[in-house]
Chains A and B, each alone.
Chain A
C-alpha cells in the first residue's frame, strides 16, 4: 500500500475490507507489527478498532515491550491469517527486524501462505530498495529484498520523494513502482498480479530508467471505491475518541497511572 491510515477517510475503510476479503475468512486473525514507528499506542488502538470492529481477531506484537510482555513471537506470527506492517522509519524497521530475527519469521509466514500487507515503510521493506525519509530528506534505503526492484510510497503526497525516486532510478536504482496513498499492489509468489486503487485520483506508476532519467508509465488499476455511508463524518470526533479508548481498553493498554 502506498499509504493507508486506520481512519474513515476516503478509501481507508475499503482497504481494510479488501485485506479481510483476501484472507478468505469472515473473522481472520490479524496481527499488527507497529515496529517502524516504535510501537506507539495510538497506532495500535486505531488498528484494533479498524479490524476489530470488522470482526477480526486483532493482536499486535510490540518488539519494544517484549521485555515487559514476553510472548512466543514465532508461534504467534505463524498462526495468523494476515500480518499487517505499519509505517514509520524504514531504516529502523529493517534494523530492528534483523536484530530480532523477525524477517526470517516473516519469510516462513509467507511460505505458509499467510497474507502479509503493509503500508508506507511497511510496504517498501519487502522490496530491494525504497525511498525513505528515515534520516530527514528522502533518500534510498535497502529493504529485505523479498520482492524484486524498488518501491516509492506517498508518491504524489510527498513530491520530494517522487523527485528523489525518479532521479535514483535514472541513476541505476532497480526499477519499480511509485504508489499514491490509498493505492495497493497484490503480489503472489513474487509476481505482481493486481494493482488497485481505493480512492479516485490515487494511482500507481511503473518507474524505469531511460537515458539516465526515471520515466513513468501509469498502471491500469482495478477500482475498488466505496461510498462513505451517509451520515458518517470521517475523521476525529468525540465518538471517534470514545471508540478508540474502548479499543485501547480491550487491548489492555489503559493502565492506571
Chain B
C-alpha cells in the first residue's frame, strides 16, 4: 500500500467511489438495469466512458458481448482483454485512467487477481480510484476491492486477499442463515476482519473507505454488516434503498447504524 493512502486528490473535491454488488447488473439480471443505471449515474455524465474488465471469466466472449449489449447505448463502452492483448488497446494504463467508470465482471477472483498483478492492473486501478474514477463490479468484481474476501458459491468458502482498497472483509451472493453465513461468522471468530455481505441484487456504495448506503435492484435484496462483539459474531441487516422506487428510503433500518438515516442522493 502507498504511504498517505491515496487521499491526494481530496483537496480537489474528488471522491473515491466503489460500488460492490453482491450479484446483479447485466451479468445476472438481464432486463433489470437498475444497478447498472445507478453506477453509470454516479459519474454524473450522460454518456460516460465505461471500461469492462472481464478477466475473472477468462475474458469469455459471450460475456463481453452481453456487456456491449447492455452498455453500447448508455456509454462510450470499451473492454480490456488480458488474454488477447495483441488485439486490444495498446496502452492499458492510459486507457483505464481515461475512463469515468471501470466495471469488473464476475468469475474466479483468485485467477483474476493473479492475472491483474502479472499485468500491473492492480496498481492502475488504485490510481484510477484515487483520481475519482468510479469502480464497480459484481461477485469477483466486488470481492477484489476489499482487504479480504470469502469466495465461493454453494457451501464452500475460502479466504482470499484482495487489493485492500476497502479495509473490510466481503462476501457476495449472500443469503442470511445459509451455511456460508455460518462460515463468515466462524471466520470472524478466527480473526477475519469485520466486513460486509451482500445478496444478489444488493450493492454496497463506498465513498472513500466509508460504506454510505446500500442500494438494491430487487425489493427483497439486502446487505449486512458482520462484526465481532466480544467472542460472538454479530450480523446486522443494513437499511436498503430499492432503486425501483426511490421515494421509499430507507426500507429496513437498524437505527443504531450511522448510515441508516443518511443515504446519499445518487
| Residues in chain A within 8 A of chain B (CB atoms) | 35-40, 62-68, 70, 88-89, 91-92, 94-96, 98-100, 133-137
- Chain B residue nearest in CB terms to A135: B85
| Residues in chain B within 8 A of chain A (CB atoms) | 56-61, 82-86, 90, 107-108, 110-111, 113-115, 117-119, 151-154, 156
B residues within 8 A CB of A95? 114-115, 117-118
Interface pair A38/B59, CB less than 8 Å apart: yes
Q: How far is the CA of A37 from the CA of B118 in the complex (A)?
A: 15
CB distance from A74 to the nearest CB of B (A): 14
A37's contact among B83, B111, B153, by CB below 8 Å, is which? B83
Q: How far is the CA of A22 from the CA of B233 in the complex (A)?
A: 55
Given contacts A38-B59, A64-B56, A64-B58, contact A92 B118 (CB under 8 A): yes
B58's contact among A39, A67, A70, A91, by CB below 8 Å, is which? A39
B residues within 8 A CB of A38? 57-60, 83
Q: How far is the CA of A136 from the CA of B83 in the complex (A)?
A: 10
A residues within 8 A CB of B119? 91, 135
B residues within 8 A CB of A136? 85-86, 90
Interface pair A67/B85, CB less than 8 Å apart: no
CB distance from A160 to the nearest CB of B (A): 10
CB distance from B21 to the nearest CB of A (A): 16
- Chain B residue nearest in CB terms to A39: B58
A residues within 8 A CB of B84? 89
B residues within 8 A CB of A63? 108, 110-111
Interface pair B152/A67, CB less than 8 Å apart: yes
Given contacts A38-B57, A40-B58, A135-B119, contact A89 B110 (CB under 8 A): no
Q: How far is the CA of A70 from the CA of B58 in the complex (A)?
A: 17
- Chain B residue nearest in CB terms to A100: B110
> What are 11 A-B pairs with beta-carbon distances under 8 A?
A39-B58, A40-B60, A64-B58, A64-B108, A67-B153, A88-B83, A89-B84, A92-B82, A94-B118, A95-B115, A136-B86
- Chain A residue nearest in CB terms to B106: A67
Given contacts A63-B108, A64-B57, contact A96 B86 (CB under 8 A): no
- Chain B residue nearest in CB terms to A42: B61
B residues within 8 A CB of A70? 152-154, 156
CB distance from A1 to the nearest CB of B (A): 20
